[in-house]
Amino acid sequence: MLNHILATLLPVFLIAGCGAVYGRFRTPDIRSLNTLNMELFVPLLVFAVLADRQAPLADYAWLALAAACVVLGSGLVLWPLVKWLKLDVKTFLPPMMFNNSGNMGVPLIVLAFGEQALPAAVVVFIVEMLLHFRLGFTCLIRAPRCGAC
């Protein structure tokens, strides 16, 4: 069991560690790579999975609902805590609701469960990104600042 966990997580941590060490000694400009990733590669990955006839995405409707419940449920649970602690809603709530299910989640799921888990990972990614771009931006624009901030 421990070997499987290490075999899955070790490559991710090694790559992240190499990037952190490289970034510490050099200051790479990755804005163009981030733009290319978000505007070309991520949509192509989603399109490739959705276009694949072997991925029965209708079977993942329960997973899409569960992903939406996790995002919305964490917001509903944390909203009173944010108000009680007088934290800034715009700063605290969106990072607690929306995790990195794309850049970190998809490769980690594929490493852990193989290529057959890619459609499930993409379904979760799509649901969370749709909620993030709709609900997350709404939270950032309309949420009031607390009096302590």
Helix (H, G, I), strand (E, B) or coil at 127: helix
Q: What's the burial of 127, exposed, middle or buried (CB within 10 Å: 0-12/13-18/19+)?
A: buried
Rg over alpha carbons for the chain, rounded to the nearest Å, is: 18
For the chain, give the mean pLDDT.
83
pLDDT of residue 147: 42
Query: What is the C-alpha separation between 85 and 120, in angstroms, rounded?
Result: 36
Helix (H, G, I), strand (E, B) or coil at 100: coil
List helix spans (H) across 54-117.
61-85, 89-97, 105-113
pLDDT of residue 70: 93
Low-confidence ranges of the chain (pLDDT < 70): 53-55, 143-149
pTM above 0.85, yes or no: no
pLDDT of residue 148: 39
pLDDT of residue 80: 92
Residue with tokens 């379904």: 123
pLDDT of residue 54: 64
HSE-CB for 33 with a 13 A CA cutoff: 4
pLDDT of residue 47: 82
The answer to whether 136 and 97 are in contact (CB under 8 A) is yes
The answer to whether 110 and 117 are in contact (CB under 8 A) is yes
